[in-house]
Structures are given as C-alpha cells and as structure tokens.
Amino acid sequence: MAARGVRILKLEPAGLGARAGLRPGDTILAVNGSPVEDELALRFYLADEQVALSVRSAAGEARRVEVDLAGGSLGIEVEEFRTRTCNNSCIFCFVDQLPAGVRPGLRVRDDDYRLSFLHGNYITLTNLGEADLERIVEHALSPLYVSVHATDPALRTRILGRRKPDDLAGKLRRLIAGGITIHAQIVLMPQINDGAHLRRTVLDLYDLYPGVRSVAIVPLGLSAHGKPRERLQPVTAAFSAELIRTVTAWQEAFRREIGRTFAYLADEFYLLAGAPVPEARHYDDFAQIEDGVGMVRRFLDDFDEALGQEYPVRPGLRGTLVTGRLFEPFLGAAAARCNRRYGLRLSVAAAENRFLGGGITVAGLLSGGDIVGALQGSDPGDFVVVPDDALSRAGAVFLDDRTLAWVAQSLARPVRAGGRSADDFFRLLAALS
C-alpha cells in the first residue's frame, strides 16, 4: 500500500520550500523515492542535502520539486499524524477508570511508537508488525518506552486482556539488535505481578541490558470510577515498605555488576512507606523521571541549588502553593525555607482529589475543580501556584477540562503553573513580585 503522504499546512514565506514552489495544501508523497507516511518519516528523509519531492497538489496534480537543503530547512508546517490506538484490554486500564467530564484527549488509548519516541509515551508493542519493526530500526527511533508488566507470557496475556500471547521477547530482541534502546515499565499490582513474578520480570529484562537500559516499577492507580476488569488490590504503605526492602537488594546487586541501579521504584512507593527518598546517584541519568521516578529527588536537589542563587523576589510576597497529599510535606518544607530566605509568606495547601477519588494522592492528577475546592472559602493570598504536571502539554488544561483561567476566575486570584524546575518557580516568584 502506498504511503498516504504528509499535507503541508503552512510555509515560511522566505523558506526553501516556498522558494522551490511548495504551497499550502500540497501533499508530500515521497522524498528521493522513499514513501513518506508521516512527519517523522519526512524528517528522516530530509536529512539529505539534495532532495527530490514527489508532490500532489490540493487539486490532485502530481509534480516533482527539487530542493537543495544545504542552506537550511524546508520551512514547512505539516499535519499531525493520526495516533495509533491500543488493541489491548488491560485489566488495570486507567482510561476505563476516568469519570465523566474528563479532558477529551485522555480518553484516547494511544499505543503509538512514534509518540513513544517523541514524548516518552509507553507502548506495549502488541500492535507492531514486521514493517513497523523495520521502520523503527531504519529510522533509529530510539529510545522507546515499553510497558512490559510481566515477561511470563501467560501472565502478560492476562494483564493485557489478550486472547493469546504476543511475542514480547522476540520484538525486544529484534529492536535491541537494531540498535534501539528500551526503557521498560512495570505497573505493579499486588497479588498479580508482584513477588516471584516481579523478580522474574526484572531479571528477564536485566538479561537484555544494555539494550534494556532501565526498568521503572510504578504503582497501580485506582480511581473511584469505572470497573477494572479484575478485582484489584490497592498499593498500601505496608506493601510499599516490603517492596522497597526487596528491590533494594536487587538494586545493590545491579550496581555492583553494571554500575547502575537498573530497576527503579516510583517515588510514590517511598512516600507511601514514609521511607527516605534515594540520593541523586541512585537514579543515574533519571531516564524515567516522567514516570514519577526520581521527581522528588530532582525537586529537592534543584530547590537547594536555586535557593542558593539570588532572585529579585519581593519580601512579604504572599501566596499559596497547591499540591497533592503525598507531596505536601516536601513542598511545605521547601516553602518554609523559601520564606526564611526571602522573607515571604508562602503557604502550602494539599488538595484532596475528589475528581478521581481519594485514593489518588499525587499532584499530577489533580483537577481544576480539586484545586478550587481546596481553596474556596479561604484566603490564599495574592496568587496561587499549581503543579505544572497537572496540566496538559498543549493548552494548559486540567484533567477535568478546566483551564487555568477558569481556576483563576473561580478563586479571584492570579493562578500560575509552577514550571518544570526550581529555577522556573523562583523566576515565577520574581515575576509576581
């Protein structure tokens, strides 16, 4: 089947593409004879300096456009590719646990290797055929982030809700042999893939090191909505404490053998257990930080470093920082230090997650309504700062499809996202001064 091509939406007026005769509405079908199926393929083939584009106009006219890219880029904006969706029915699927009114994009069950490469989204590999594997290797789409959950074929089949096993081991080996680095994820479910099953999964993945570069072990999330396909047990403080003891022994062995921790526990386990968060060296290159692995340590260390810098923050500045229940002690301690350093009046509010349910305690899953509910009727000061990771990448929208502007209007206060780093946070305070 021929590639459908990539349609041009906009061109820079003085760009190489416009000068060569490309127009909005044109579809690039191939580059130097290689079919183009999406923007990633287009980027890959445009790495050549001399390119011949097979183009179809909006009116259906076919033509050839030659461009010398030695002097820059095409200067075009193209349509987004259609997201490939999941073909599994995972027993813990969080999409099935979302309430009405959730941000529409969260209902998309994406399982797209392109999003894994671009944004670190986790994929299962179950919907990859031979052509996909060849393309991933040819285009060097590395690293990829893979949801494994279990390497025992029967157990993985049950967890993914499939009728027959997929060839996980074969696909992993194929990708690794092609130079692709894998970061694996295990969503840990008590009495399902823990214990001996977890040990087997981690060791099977360790056998593939350094192709499998890291493994993130993250806790099952259970909202107050929907019905998981099996009766699932929540992750408790006692479970977390025992897990830390068990996995720490593996981590110490891995560090002796390869100089890396390799298998990392999500921050939530340490917070639930009331255990110390490991030091930065434990997390090596923080490869799985977007999965909640090492975020607390990165925050604490970044905050220490930023607190030693000079920012033009006005003494007496008064406002409220909102977070989830689990992170509140850490943010509270940080705010107190900030107050002493700059003479501020910052307070911290832990918002209860009423949108998804009280069992969800992380800051990144707070909704706009949760934040308003936590502060309404109180005096939050002159401004409110909310967790950056509670907002969508595009549009700054909360889980409940509420915007920052809606929260600000509801609280009659300026509401700002805290940023991705401590430096972002202190710059925000300076801007609010």
Q: Could you report the per-residue pLDDT of 291-313, keeping only the tens digit for each?
A: 999 999 999 999 999 999 999 99
**Average pLDDT of the segment spanning 6-19:** 93
**C-alpha–C-alpha distance, residues 70 and 67, integer Å:** 9
Residue 1 lies in a domain: no
Q: Are strands 27-31 and 345-350 parallel, antiparallel or unpaired?
A: unpaired
**C-alpha–C-alpha distance, residues 152 and 192, integer Å:** 12
Beta strands in 88-140 (DSSP E): 122-123
Q: Judge contact between 159 and 201, C-beta under 8 A.
A: no
Model confidence at 230: pLDDT above 80:
no
- Looking at the structure, do residues 305 and 283 belong to the same domain, yes or no? no
Two structure tokens written together for 400: 């409940």
Model confidence at 287: pLDDT above 70:
yes
Q: Is 319 helix (H, G, I), strand (E, B) or coil?
A: strand
Measuring CA to CA, how many Å separate 43 from each of 6, 8, 275?
Answer: 11, 13, 45
Model confidence at 226: pLDDT above 80:
no
Burial class of residue 315, CB neighbours in 10 A (0-12, 13-18, 19+): exposed
105: confidence class by pLDDT, cuts 50, 70, 90: confident
Model confidence at 3: pLDDT above 60:
no
What domain range is 315 assigned to?
300-432
pTM: 0.90
SS3 content of the chain, % helix, strand, coil (to 5): 40, 20, 45
Length of the chain: 433
Q: Looking at the 3D structure of the chain, how many domains does it have? A: 3
**Average pLDDT of the segment spanning 83-108:** 89
94: confidence class by pLDDT, cuts 50, 70, 90: confident
Two structure tokens written together for 201: 């999964």
- Mean pLDDT over each residue of the chain, to the nearest integer: 94
- Looking at the structure, do residues 346 and 387 belong to the same domain, yes or no? yes
User: Which CATH number fits the domain that encloses residue 380?
Assistant: 3.40.50
Residue 323 lies in a domain: yes
For 164-187, the pLDDT digits (tens) are: 999 999 999 999 999 999 999 999
- Looking at the structure, do residues 276 and 304 belong to the same domain, yes or no? no
- Looking at the structure, do residues 19 and 68 belong to the same domain, yes or no? yes
Q: Are strands 50-56 and 27-31 parallel, antiparallel or unpaired?
A: antiparallel
User: Which CATH number fits the domain that encloses residue 15?
Assistant: 2.30.42.10
Residue 84 lies in a domain: no
Rg (CA), the chain: 24
Residue 359 lies in a domain: yes
- Looking at the structure, do residues 106 and 165 belong to the same domain, yes or no? yes
Reference 392, options 22, 28, 119; nearest CA is: 119
Q: What is the pLDDT of residue 71?
A: 73
Instruction: Enumerate residues 6+ apart whose C-beta is below 8 A from 130.
Output: none
For 355-407, the pLDDT digits (tens) are: 999 889 999 999 999 999 999 889 999 999 999 999 987 778 999 999 999 99
- Looking at the structure, do residues 160 and 285 belong to the same domain, yes or no? yes
- Looking at the structure, do residues 305 and 288 belong to the same domain, yes or no? no
1: confidence class by pLDDT, cuts 50, 70, 90: very low
- Looking at the structure, do residues 267 and 364 belong to the same domain, yes or no? no
Q: What is the pLDDT of residue 108?
A: 85
Domain end, chosen from 245, 275, 293, is at 293
Q: What is the pLDDT of residue 72?
A: 85
**C-alpha–C-alpha distance, residues 94 and 167, integer Å:** 24
**Average pLDDT of the segment spanning 131-143:** 96
**Average pLDDT of the segment spanning 325-338:** 95
How many alpha carbons fall within 13 Å on the CB side of residue 14? 1
Two structure tokens written together for 222: 């259970």
Q: Judge contact between 43 and 81, C-beta under 8 A.
A: no
For 183-225, the pLDDT digits (tens) are: 999 999 999 999 999 999 999 999 999 999 999 999 999 888 8
- Looking at the structure, do residues 109 and 156 belong to the same domain, yes or no? yes
Model confidence at 10: pLDDT above 70:
yes
At residue 157's C-alpha, the angle toward residues 154 and 160, to 5°, is: 150
DSSP track, 366-415? --HHHHHHHHTTS---S-EEE-GGGS-TTT-B-TTS-BHHHHHHHHTS-E
User: Which CATH number fits the domain that encloses residue 266?
Assistant: 3.80.30.10
Q: List residues bridging with 263 in a β-sheet.
A: 215
For 405-426, the pLDDT digits (tens) are: 999 999 999 999 999 899 999 9
SS in 3 state form for 23-72?
CCCCEEEEECCEECCCHHHHHHHCCCCEEEEEEECCCCCEEEEEEEHHHC
The two counts, helices (H) then strands (E), for the chain are: 14, 15
Q: What is the DSSP letter of 84?
A: P
Percentage of the chain modeled with pLDDT above 90: 87
For 20-70, the pLDDT digits (tens) are: 999 999 999 999 999 999 999 999 999 888 999 999 999 999 999 999 998
